[in-house]
């Protein structure tokens, strides 16, 4: 296979569930990376916030560390770790208040959380194949997740075709924040409460009480294929299936009573205990020699047994520039600018509902009900548009990276002109980082 075809395939960034490399060779050297991300959501809409004023929504800072190193010429190890700090209010539920026509959203008070993630995987490289195994752990104060994975790929057809596949499994443990404050001012977790406090919690916050000691697990499999069409074109496709079972509700989207200014007896978040989902992903990468650029296009179809169907379209333009000046040539300076746009649209889950308190009397639902319900806007019928730009600057063995993204979600973007969903987010995300090859 020609060097140009190999470089084209390597430059084709893989879509989820795909390995797009056209040559099963390990990394030429070691690499260490750092990324810093700042994520900030727009304030809640004042007119639809039942507190009567706008609230600061989530602001998240993420520090990510990565190191990749070859142990031998056929085996490499990759380790990643991240630390995430979050603060701000999030939507708990939405409803149409008694005597009102508009949809209101109730937000919880501003909270502060931290999350730690770590993953490690090893990969063996053969002449035309590779295989890897990895483990991932994530920990928050109220949550612990553990995941393991196996994957591999093989090149056939004179290394013009890449077949890939993999499987992963994970288990999560829940220990929700009870909302009960101790004498020292600390918020207690549900597992730390006394029997009397648990009894009171069952009355005041049944969803959090119901999540005590709950777990969930998931199993995922994928298969993919990548094909070099010619020296300028690569196409990719993959399918995946994921099955989840256990406690899948959100314990913080709780039943409420007197704490909501306009609502009484708004139901808990009660979701099915199983979820089966499948995806189909398609991608094309086209190199434009006269412009020293490439166009990446991706499509993803998602369907599940909650009646959610989503479509994602991604389009990115990679513009490379290597100035032919002595300083830039002598120091291997290269620039890459990547503007892009993403469109997302989904249907609503069959149990998504905005309760109308004009027509409901008494408790709409309770934690013991067998009818499923959620007013989580992420399960509604909506669309979203994301505009993004990335810049990469190579200098000798260093690479400086930066990106900015603007995201906005709205029912109208998903061709839903009938519903109002004020809890949907809009945010900015800024990322910068440094890579070092050695």
pLDDT at position 7: 39
pLDDT at position 354: 83
Closest CA to 124 of 24, 11, 222, 19: 24
pLDDT at position 421: 84
Torsions phi, psi of 304, nearest 5?
-145, 175
In a structure prediction context, what are the per-residue pLDDT tens digits for the chain, which is 438 residues long? 444 443 344 344 333 333 334 345 678 889 999 999 999 999 877 767 777 777 788 899 999 999 999 999 999 999 999 999 998 888 877 878 777 778 878 777 667 889 999 999 999 999 999 999 999 999 998 889 999 999 999 999 999 999 999 999 999 998 887 666 666 666 777 777 777 777 777 666 777 777 888 899 999 999 999 999 999 999 999 999 999 999 998 888 765 544 555 555 566 788 999 999 999 999 999 999 999 999 999 999 999 999 999 999 999 999 999 998 999 889 999 999 999 999 999 999 998 988 777 776 544 544 455 578 888 999 999 999 999 999 999 999 999 999 999 999 999 999 998 888 888 999 999 999 999 999
Q: Which CATH class is domain 3-175+213-437?
A: mainly beta
CB neighbours of residue 231 within 10 Å: 13
pLDDT at position 192: 75
Lookup result for tokens 């590779």: 130
Which sequence spans correspond to the domains of the chain? 3-175+213-437
pTM over 0.75: yes
């Amino acid at each position: 296979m020609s060097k140009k075809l190999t470089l084209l395939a390597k430059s084709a960034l893989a879509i989820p569930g795909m390995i797009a490399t056209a040559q099963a060779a390990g990394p030429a050297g070691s690499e260490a990376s750092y990324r810093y991300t700042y994520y900030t959501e727009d304030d809640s809409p004042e007119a639809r916030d039942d507190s009567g004023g706008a609230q600061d929504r989530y602001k998240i800072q993420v520090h990510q560390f990565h190191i990749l190193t070859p142990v031998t010429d056929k085996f490499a190890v990759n380790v990643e770790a991240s630390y995430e700090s979050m603060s701000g209010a999030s939507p708990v539920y939405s409803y149409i208040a008694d005597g009102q026509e508009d949809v209101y959203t109730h937000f919880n008070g501003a909270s502060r959380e931290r999350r730690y993630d770590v993953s490690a995987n090893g990969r063996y490289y053969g002449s035309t194949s590779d295989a890897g195994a990895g483990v991932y752990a994530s920990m928050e104060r109220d949550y612990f997740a553990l995941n393991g994975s196996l994957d591999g790929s093989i090149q056939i057809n004179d290394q013009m075709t890449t077949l890939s596949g993999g499987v992963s499994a994970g288990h999560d443990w829940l220990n929700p924040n009870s909302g009960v404050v101790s004498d020292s001012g600390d918020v207690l977790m549900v597992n730390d409460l006394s029997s009397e406090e648990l009894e009171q919690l069952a009355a005041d916050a049944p969803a959090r009480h119901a999540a005590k000691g709950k777990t969930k697990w998931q199993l995922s499999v994928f298969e993919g294929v990548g094909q070099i069409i010619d020296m300028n074109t690569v196409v990719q496709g993959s399918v995946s299936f994921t099955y989840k079972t256990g406690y899948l509700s959100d314990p913080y989207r709780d039943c409420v009573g007197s704490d909501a200014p306009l609502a009484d007896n708004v139901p808990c978040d009660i979701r099915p205990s199983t979820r089966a989902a499948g995806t189909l992903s398609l991608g094309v990468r086209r190199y434009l020699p006269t412009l020293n650029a490439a166009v990446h296009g991706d499509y993803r179809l998602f369907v599940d047994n909650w009646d959610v169907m989503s479509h994602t379209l991604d389009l990115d333009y990679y513009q490379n520039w290597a100035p032919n000046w002595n300083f830039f040539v002598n120091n291997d300076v290269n620039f890459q600018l990547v503007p892009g746009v993403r469109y997302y649209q989904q249907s609503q889950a069959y149990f998504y509902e905005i309760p109308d308190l004009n027509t409901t009397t008494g408790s709409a639902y309770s934690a013991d009900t067998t009818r499923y319900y959620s007013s989580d806007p992420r399960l509604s019928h909506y669309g979203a548009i994301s505009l993004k730009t990335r810049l990469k600057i190579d200098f000798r063995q260093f690479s400086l990276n930066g990106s900015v993204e603007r995201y906005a979600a709205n029912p109208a973007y998903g061709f839903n002109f009938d519903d109002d969903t004020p809890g949907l987010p809009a945010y900015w995300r800024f990322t910068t980082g440094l890579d070092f090859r050695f």
